[in-house]
A = this chain, B = another copy of it.
Amino acid sequence: MIDTNFSKQLIDYIASRISLSLEESKLIAEAYSILHVKKKDYLISQDKAGNIEAFVIMGTFRVFYNDSKGLEHVLYFAFKDWWVGDIASFNSGELSMLNAQALEDSIVFTIDPIKKEKLLEQIPQLEKLFRIITQKHLTVLQKRFLLTVSANVAERYHELIQRHPGIEQLVPQHQIASYLGILPESLSRMKKQLLKD
């Protein structure tokens, strides 16, 4: 059930942010379950109850929304030591708006809302940690939103590869296009144009 080596990574992540007793570390390790997700498999699927929050131990995910016209929009990519989940669904029980698909064979720790609720009661310090993590997520999304509405595609492209060097080796270009909010053809065109300068 619990792999000590893997759970160490989650414990380290938390312990580097708040102080944990051995007791508390054990409670955390027991609350989370390890899950192997094969390349192309889904950790979260749209229109199902997305009642999972995951911490990425290894691998990469694309988190995306499938709109009413069938177009996919990548909200973010999630790497090692990132959280993956549909926050709206996790906290309300509503159906998920998001899909999370593994881009390579991946390993995550997952928790459901009931276990998390219990864990937060057992370790009140976690309330503060998760408040801060959520604030950080909100900050990141706010920056992403403002950049999306204020910068052109070339600027957003440069911002992405600067923030994630090497992402182009890991993520297919059409998914980068989707993250940028354009079609693959347009990204291809833009990159060709960039070479001219």
Contact = CB atoms under 8 A, between A and B. Distances in A.
Q: What secondary structure prevails in chain A residues at the interface with B?
A: helix
Contacts of A135: 87, 91, 134
Contact of A75 (B88, B91, B130, B146): B146
**Which one of A127, A132, A149 has the highest number of Cβ atoms from chain B below 10 Å of its Cβ?**
A149
Contacts of A75: 142, 145-146
Q: How many copies of this chain sit in the oligomeric assembly?
A: 2
B127 A131 contact: yes
A149 B130 CA distance: 28
A143 interface: yes
Interface string A72-110: 010100000000000110011000010000000000000
Interface size class of A (residues with CB under 8 A): 35 or more
A151 to B, nearest CB: 8
A184 interface: no
Nearest to A180: B149
Interface of A: 65, 67-69, 71, 73, 75, 87-88, 91-92, 97, 120, 124, 127-128, 130-132, 134-135, 137-139, 141-146, 148-151, 181
Given A87-B139, A127-B127, A144-B145, 4 more contacts: A65-B146, A120-B128, A127-B131, A141-B145
17 contacts: A67-B146, A71-B150, A73-B146, A73-B149, A87-B135, A87-B138, A87-B139, A88-B142, A91-B135, A92-B139, A97-B143, A120-B128, A124-B124, A127-B131, A144-B145, A145-B145, A145-B148
